[in-house]
């Protein structure tokens, strides 16, 4: 049956990864302390995301970047000149005001109860579901970190220029494996990129005209003619999954097999035999299989080094530690 080996890898990975601190997260953690909490988040998401569907990708990316630095503790949301927000991978993040508005609603309902870490995790999930993507379980009970370090973010967040070895090393550092790398990269199906994240593949590589020889030449020519027209374009946005970037589907993986992955890190997924087997397994299976396996990797990522119990704090405002 298609996918049995794939599923086995994930199940073993989850069992090996979940430690005692993660067991303190629980479904409906706020059932007694703030029973309307998750509905407040979901209602706000359902009201606003249909009008700005690209925010779904932005929130998945924000959640991912947060979890890779000191765990899923909303340290990314903190404001300071030396905080994670100022790291190179985080300078194009957006949606912080959306999170602040949800936090304000929850503070009005239950002051000092719901963490920013849980809010970000719930918004990421609910936004993807609202645009028709997969659902995954979000156990809650995370607490907010009080340290945010720009250098740690620059060092730990996988970048668009990374090769496979670098990508896998950064994922392994978080207790994630090749399967998670392939699946979580699948979120690029709804992604939008800025030219500087890939223009070196169009202008400064080793192929004819400076084009990366691992990038489909027709696709590269189209990008140079219609999107990133100069090497110095810092503002143009490009769909990572052209034609269906608002649809959470398998076409991202199809593009990878046609050498049309936008980032170097996307193309890197086809340079490893294990990764390539997983990509082809996804493409030969029903889309629902991708949804199920993606959900498991998101659940796993959402439990990286979480703070629970008396660790950290419950911030009153997501951008500032409590005074």
Active-site positions read 65
**CB neighbours of 176 closer than 8 A, spacing ≥ 6?**
13, 17, 184, 297, 300, 301, 304
Residue 313 to residues 33, 38, 201, 297, 317: CA-CA distances in angstroms?
A: 16, 19, 43, 26, 11
Which DSSP state fits 304? T
**Closest of 235, 231, 191 to residue 211, by C-alpha:** 231
**Closest of 246, 223, 236, 250 to residue 193, by C-alpha:** 236
Please give the Cα distance from 54 to 36 (Å, whole number).
26
The owner of tokens 């550092």 is: 173
Q: Which residues pair with 194 in a beta bridge?
A: 237
Task: HSE, CB side, 13 Å, CA atoms: give it for residue 49.
Answer: 27
Work out the number of other CB atoms within 10 angstroms of the CB of residue 249: 18
């Amino acid at each position: 049956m298609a996918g049995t080996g794939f599923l086995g890898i994930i199940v073993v990975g989850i069992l090996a990864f979940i430690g005692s601190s993660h067991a303190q997260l629980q479904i409906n953690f706020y059932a007694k302390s703030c029973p309307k909490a998750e509905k407040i988040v979901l209602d706000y998401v359902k009201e606003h995301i249909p009008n700005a569907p690209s925010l779904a990708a932005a929130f998945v990316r924000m959640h991912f970047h947060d979890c890779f630095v000191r765990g899923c503790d909303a340290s990314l949301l903190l404001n300071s000149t030396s905080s994670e927000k100022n790291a190179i991978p985080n300078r194009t993040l957006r949606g912080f005001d959306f999170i602040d508005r949800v936090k304000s609603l929850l503070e009005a309902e239950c002051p000092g109860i719901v963490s920013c870490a849980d809010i970000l995790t719930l918004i990421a999930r609910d936004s993807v579901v609202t645009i028709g993507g997969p659902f995954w379980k979000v156990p809650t009970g995370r607490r907010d970190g009080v340290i945010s370090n720009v250098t740690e973010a620059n060092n730990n967040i996988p970048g668009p220029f990374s090769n496979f070895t670098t990508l896998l090393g950064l994922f392994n550092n978080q207790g994630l494996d090749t399967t998670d790398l392939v699946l979580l990269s699948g979120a690029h199906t709804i992604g939008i990129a800025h030219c500087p994240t890939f223009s070196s593949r169009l202008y400064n590589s080793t192929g004819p005209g400076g084009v990366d020889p691992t990038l489909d030449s027709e696709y590269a020519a189209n990008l140079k003619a219609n999107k990133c027209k100069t090497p110095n374009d810092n503002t143009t946005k490009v769909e990572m999954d052209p034609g269906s970037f608002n649809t959470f589907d398998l076409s991202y993986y199809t593009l990878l097999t046609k050498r049309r992955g936008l980032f170097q890190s996307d193309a890197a997924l086809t340079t490893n035999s294990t990764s390539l087997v997983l990509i082809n397994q996804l493409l030969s299976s029903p889309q629902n299989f991708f949804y199920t396996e993606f959900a498991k990797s998101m659940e796993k990522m959402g439990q990286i080094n979480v703070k629970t119990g008396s660790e950290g704090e419950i911030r009153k405002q997501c951008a500032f530690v409590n005074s």
